[in-house]
Each structure stands twice: as C-alpha cells, then as structure tokens.
Structure 1
Amino acid sequence: MTATIDILERLVAFNTVSRESNLDLIRWVQERLEAAGAATRLVPSDDGRKANLFATLGPADRPGVLLSGHSDVVPVEGQAWTSDPFRLTRRDGKLFGRGTADMKGFIAAALALFDRAANQQATGRSLSQPLHLALSYDEEVGCLGVRRLIEMMAALPVRPRFCIVGEPTGMQVVTAHKGKTALRAECHGVECHSSLAPQGLNAIHMASDLLTGLRRIQNHLRDDGARDDAYDVPWTTIHAGVIQGGEALNIVPNRCRLDFEIRHLPQDPVGPLLDSIQAEADAIVRRLRPDFPAAGLSVAELSSYPALDTDSTAEVVGFVKALTGGNSTGKISFGTEGGLFQQRLSMPTVVCGPGSIGEAHKPDEFIAEDQLAACDRMLDALLARLT
C-alpha cells in the first residue's frame, strides 16, 4: 500500500478543480504509464486545456478489463479546512486532501497496479488479457469529458469486456445509480422602482412560483412515483441549488436565474418530468402575460447523464464480487460515467472503489488507509485474473 499512498500524495498536489486545467496531472500519469510499458492516448478538449487519457497494458487484440475514473475535483473555497487541501496529510489511519475519496485514491491504486503488472511482465509472466485505464475530465460538472473518450473507444477494434468505475462505494459492488439532468430557468420580468412594485413584474417572485411547482412535482414523486428501497433516497428527486436575481433592494428585479436538478431512478424516465416542468413554466407565463406582455420563463438543460442499471445476475457483477470477496451489491443515488459506458458502448459496468461518498466534497475530505488497502487487494485479484 505504500506505493499507492506515495502516488496519491502526488495526485492530490495537482490542483485539478474542474475549472482548472488537468494537463499537468494527465501528462504526469501518462509518463508513468508509458514507463510501465502501457500504450497511451490523449483525447483533448476543444480548447486544449484539458484531456482524457486512455491506456492499455497487455495484448490489445483481446478485451480485458477497464478501470475508469475522473481527474477533476470540486472546489475548496469557502470550506473550513484544517490542513492544506492540496497536500496529503496522514493522521489516525486517514489520508486527508481534496480528492482523496473522490476519486484520486482509486486512481492511485490503479497506477500502482500498472506498476505491479509491469514488474510481473518483466519476470516473464505476461498478461493474457489487457488492463485498461480511462481518466476523464469534468466529471464533476456533468460527465463532460468522458463523452469524447467514449467516442474514441467506440472505434476500438476490440473493446474492454467489463468496466469498473472506481467511485467511492466502500468497496461494495454497485450495480445501479440514478441519472441526472441539470436545468436552468431564466425568469424575465419588468423592473420598476420598489415603491411602485405592483406596476412591475418581480422575476424573483416568478422563480418562487416555479419553485412551488417543482416542490409539487417532487411531492408527487415521493408519494406516488417509482420507488426502489435499495437506494438511500428511494425515489426520484428534484433539488434547487442556485438562485440569483436582483440588483438592489429598491428595484423590482427583471431577471432571476434558478438552477435545479433531477436525479431519477433508472426506471423513471426523465422525459415526462421535463414535460411537467415545462408545463409549470408555461402556466406561469400564461397567467402573467395579459398584464405583462414581456413576461418570459425559459427552461434549458445544462447537462445530463444517464442512470446505470446493471442486472444483479450479470457476469460483470459476479466477476467483481469475486475480486472483492464480498457477497452483497448496492445501488447509489450519486452518478458516475458508468451509465454512459453502458448506454453508448453497451459495456457491462459496475461501480466499486475505496472510500465513502459521505467524506467527499467536504472540508477535510479523507480516505481511510484500510480502504486503500482493500482496493489494492481487489486490484491484485484482478491482475491474477488477467494473467
């Protein structure tokens, strides 16, 4: 495990918050992998500031297994960290730093595995099946980068047999997660002096009306919608996270922006929900237009990714359970790129990685050392299966 921790220390030191470039980290990883004998390929973003990485060690004419992770992390501003978030701190069996749990711990373990596989091959014990690694950018803002990577992988002569997404699941094999659609509502009203408020159309009030409609839809989903008790939150949720509007207290605001999201169960298609939300927006505008012809309320998608839904009896599930030694499977409410691998490449996929999502995105994010050790053991078992 020492090698994994040493690699994690280097990974944490790269500031790969989604708004920043990830190229320094990707190039460092690429050099390591090529030194281990892996064939690598970069898939850059349009502006060239970021890149995905795909690597293969072993015979590329056979399927093998794909390990998938993301290089970006969430911001640290406004969080009360007690140590430098971009410097790994070791204390009481825990490793603190931004991205340790989500999900540089898994990436470190995967890179250490490539080193062990290379050392094994140097002794004459070659891989009979290849080991693949996919690292993507901008997962935290909508699984954006991996889509380009998947386009590249779709053209591979031989695709990986299985995919293991290493998001933090406490090393439990996860077969399903919710899909997500992020949306933005733009409310357009009529501004005026606040002393004449009834003569204007308050865009913040319009956003409030839409929020009321969203809560009504949410309550219906909770009480009468699809349900799966295997999830921590067993129904489809609607969550409003950002509202921005107004310039001054004495001005009736003519603009307000509301950002919200849907996290839907695999069996709960998002299309009808989007129709219901649009109907709420249209009803608000119809009510206001007779008195305020300039009233407007648009709803647009910011990003989305599909749910993952792998049958618990699928071959990939038994394969990864055998690697971990665990008997149970689970489902998670947070999302991953796994649904995209399943949807666009028809690739059997599960999620299984070290750490807890409960420690992610928080100040003093950490991963327990015993979780990294468990991940190393799983990956050693994978290496044995590929040899």
Structure 2
Amino acid sequence: MNAVELAERLVGIPSHEDERAAGDYVEQWLEERTDAAIERDDAGNVIARRNAGADRSVALVGHHDVVPPDDRQTADGEYVLERRGGRLYGRGTADMKGSLAAAMVAFRRADVPGETEAVFASFAGEEAGGVGCRAAIDAGFAPEYAVVGEGSTGYSAAGVTDVAIAHKGRRGSTVLAEGTAAHASEPDEGENAIYRATDAVDIVRGLDAPETTVLGHEIEGSIAVTGIDGGDAWNAIPERCTVTVDERTVPGERAPIERVETVEGVSATVDQDLPPMACGDADFAATVRAAADAAQDGTPEAIVKPHATDAGWLTARAGTTCVVCGAAEPGEAHTATESVSVGVIERCRGIYRRVLETV
C-alpha cells in the first residue's frame, strides 16, 4: 500500500466526533507492517518507536482527528472522498491525513541508523487545542527532534513544499468591564460598562504587535478586538460589557493585554493560549530543507506559518526541536472543498524518510 492509497483509507474513516476508529486503523496498520513498539494511550494517541532507547530520537508527528465536515463532504453518514485532477478531495485530506499517511509509510520503509530512535506519533484532539499532544507530553513524550506534518506547501512558490522554522501562536482573551446599572433617563446615577469597555478597546488598539526573529526571519504578530457584547435594554445603563481579543503571538513575546486593567472596573482573562513555535537549531532545519530539496524540482525555503500546530506544544512543554513540513497548501484546511495533491503526498513520504535516515 503506497502513501496515497493509505491516505484514502484514512480519509474514509470519520473522525470529527470520535477519532477512535481512525486511531484503531493507524495502530493496526503499524502492528501489521512494522516491528515497532507501539503504544496506545488513554488520550487516544498512537505512538510507535523503532530502535527504542537509541542515542537520539527523531519523530514524525501528525494527528488523526478532523474538524466537522461540510454537508457536501458526507453522504449517508460516510465521508465523501474523490480523486480527480491529481488531487484527493474530502474532509481531512489536507488537515492532515495526507501527510499522516506519508509519515506512516516513511516510518515503515526508512533505513534508520542504529544510533537513531525513529518515532511516529499520531495525536488525538489536535483540533481541540492539542489535547492529545499535551497528554503525551505530560506522560513523558519528548523526542529530541520532530517534523510536524502540517501544511507547508505553496508558501514560497506554487507547488513547492517548504520547511517552516517557526509559526505563530494564538492567545484569546476576554476583557470584562463592570459598572453600575441605572435608568437611562438618569445616566449619571450609574457607571456605564460600555464606556469602560470602549476605553479598554482604545488601549488594545494602541498596543504594539509582538515581533521577534527566528533563524534570521522576522516574525510579526497581531492583536485585534474581535467582538463586543453589552447592554440588555435600550433604556438601561449597562452594568456589564465583554470584549473579545485575538492575539497572534510570536516566540518569546506577548502583547501587554493586562494594560486594560488600568481602566476602573475592567479585568482581562486569557481563555486560550496556543503556543508559537521556533526552531532553535539551524543544522536541523537545514537537514530537513536538504531532504525537501532532494524530493522535488522546486527549491524549498525556510518559511513562517501563521497558524498554531502541535509543534508549539512540543517546543514549549517538551523541549523538542521542531520544524513543520507537510503536503497541505494555504487555504485548503477546514474548507468545504478541502483537497491535497497526490503527488505532494508522495513527495512528503520521501522527505520524511530522508529525515529519519539522515538526522
């Protein structure tokens, strides 16, 4: 079974509400075709190791859960999968069962040096904030190096599979403004929570976006107000107003959102903080780029992804040196027309195999 055929099998297994069946298939496939030591943990992760305990560990990392499909991506309760024009169409093709299949086949076929522990990991719950990855790290998962197979194709040039040496994170916060209710005919008798909230919004607008440099590449984040909700009646001074703030974070830096608390009655709470990723090892990044270069006609570049991945958790919590390299192109994941190139799936298989054989 080649990587494209395996991708078709994986995509055909629904895994947006319950990813256990997809995990079962990944586990069974590895058991039947490799001599690896395989672990299935309580979080639903599948982790396989060859040459366990060797001097250095190199991991190929993916996930087998997907976001809910669009109506046109299902029929009679099953996922619709179509191959046409050199592409696979269907939920999970790009994010990220195409790359997952490539990693599984590469893990099986690689001629791994005796001093290298080759690791394959397919996590559950990536789309729910990295639930599976975090559980694995808490249980001791900490490879020295990892290639995370999220999309990196088509960033520097159409059709070229690049290597992401960094990606942004996401911090989502809620700003709460509290005041005192009053009748709108006597506004001075109350403290208008919306006014306090708008003062806080002015502070957010004045914050500088975080920025840093990773391996010579400048990365700039962003911060924006994305929602405001306050007031219950047209004739009442509101006593409560909430503002949502989206921040795209960069490695090592955060915008000082806490400054909104200088406004009386205003507090800020961080609801989600998906960590960014930065590769701190130029040699590892160069090795993966060399593997990518050998697998294609185009010239891969070191790029920065705008989206968070499990590489952020691995870097921040496990101390793993990561890059991101995968088949998906910008704008494909989570769409009603999601697709991935069959040729790039095979290309990624070659990249991943070379990484396991040369790092």
TM superposition score category, shorter chain reference: 0.7 to 0.9
For 1:212, the equivalent position in structure 2 comes to 202
Whole-angstrom CA distance in 1 between matches of 2:9 and 2:240: 45
Using the TM superposition, give the Cα deviation of residue 199 of structure 1 relative to its aligned residue in structure 2, in angstroms.
5.2
CA shift in 2, pair 1:102/1:209, >3 Å: farther
Whole-angstrom CA distance in 2 between matches of 1:51 and 1:303: 22
Using the TM superposition, give the Cα deviation of residue 356 of structure 1 relative to its aligned residue in structure 2, in angstroms.
1.3
Gaps of 5+ in 2: 154-160, 294-298
For 2:4, the equivalent position in structure 1 comes to 5
CA contact (8 A) 1:59 1:127 kept: no
How many aligned positions are there? 341
CA shift in 2, pair 1:303/1:376, >3 Å: same
CA contact (8 A) 2:200 2:266 kept: no
Which amino acid letter does the alignment assign opposite residue 102 of structure 1? D
Which amino acid letter does the alignment assign opposite residue 317 of structure 2? R
For 1:323, the equivalent position in structure 2 comes to 291
Aligned match for 2:272, one of 294, 303, 307: 303
Whole-angstrom CA distance in 1 between matches of 2:273 and 2:301: 29
Correspondence list, 1:30-179, <5 A: 30-36=27-33, 37-44=35-42, 50-76=43-69, 82-84=72-74, 86-116=79-109, 128=114, 129-153=116-140, 160-170=143-153, 171-179=161-169
For 1:368, the equivalent position in structure 2 comes to 341
Which amino acid letter does the alignment assign opposite residue 258 of structure 1? V
CA contact (8 A) 1:69 1:135 kept: yes
For 1:221, the equivalent position in structure 2 comes to 209
For 1:261, the equivalent position in structure 2 comes to 246
Correspondence list, 1:238-249, <5 A: 238-246=223-231
Which amino acid letter does the alignment assign opposite residue 88 of structure 1? L
Using the TM superposition, give the Cα deviation of residue 354 of structure 1 relative to its aligned residue in structure 2, in angstroms.
0.9
CA contact (8 A) 2:106 2:350 kept: no
Using the TM superposition, give the Cα deviation of residue 126 of structure 1 relative to its aligned residue in structure 2, in angstroms.
7.5
Using the TM superposition, give the Cα deviation of residue 254 of structure 1 relative to its aligned residue in structure 2, in angstroms.
4.0
CA shift in 2, pair 1:322/1:281, >3 Å: same
For 2:327, the equivalent position in structure 1 comes to 354
Using the TM superposition, give the Cα deviation of residue 165 of structure 1 relative to its aligned residue in structure 2, in angstroms.
0.9
CA contact (8 A) 1:9 1:87 kept: no
For 1:188, the equivalent position in structure 2 comes to 178
Whole-angstrom CA distance in 2 between matches of 1:189 and 1:337: 40
CA shift in 2, pair 1:246/1:343, >3 Å: same
Whole-angstrom CA distance in 1 between matches of 2:249 and 2:195: 27
Using the TM superposition, give the Cα deviation of residue 27 of structure 1 relative to its aligned residue in structure 2, in angstroms.
2.4
Whole-angstrom CA distance in 2 between matches of 1:183 and 1:197: 29
For 2:316, the equivalent position in structure 1 comes to 343
Give secondary structure in 2 for the equivalent of 1:51: coil
For 1:47, the equivalent position in structure 2 comes to none
For 1:282, the equivalent position in structure 2 comes to 262
Give secondary structure in 2 for the equivalent of 1:358: coil
For 2:296, the equivalent position in structure 1 comes to none
CA contact (8 A) 1:83 1:89 kept: no
Using the TM superposition, give the Cα deviation of residue 164 of structure 1 relative to its aligned residue in structure 2, in angstroms.
0.5
TM-score, scaled relative to structure 2: 0.80
CA shift in 2, pair 1:188/1:100, >3 Å: farther
Which amino acid letter does the alignment assign opposite residue 168 of structure 1? G
Whole-angstrom CA distance in 2 between matches of 1:199 and 1:370: 69
CA shift in 2, pair 1:318/1:238, >3 Å: same
CA contact (8 A) 1:172 1:328 kept: yes
CA shift in 2, pair 1:364/1:174, >3 Å: same
Give secondary structure in 1 for the equivalent of 2:271: strand
Whole-angstrom CA distance in 2 between matches of 1:247 and 1:35: 61
Whole-angstrom CA distance in 1 between matches of 2:61 and 2:129: 16
Whole-angstrom CA distance in 2 between matches of 1:162 and 1:343: 13
**Aligned-pair RMSD on alpha carbons?**
3.3
Percent of pairs identical after alignment?
29
Using the TM superposition, give the Cα deviation of residue 352 of structure 1 relative to its aligned residue in structure 2, in angstroms.
0.9
Give secondary structure in 2 for the equivalent of 1:359: coil
Using the TM superposition, give the Cα deviation of residue 304 of structure 1 relative to its aligned residue in structure 2, in angstroms.
1.9
CA shift in 2, pair 1:302/1:145, >3 Å: farther
CA shift in 2, pair 1:39/1:254, >3 Å: farther
CA shift in 2, pair 1:193/1:323, >3 Å: same
TM-score, scaled relative to structure 1: 0.75
Whole-angstrom CA distance in 1 between matches of 2:193 and 2:334: 32
For 1:120, the equivalent position in structure 2 comes to none
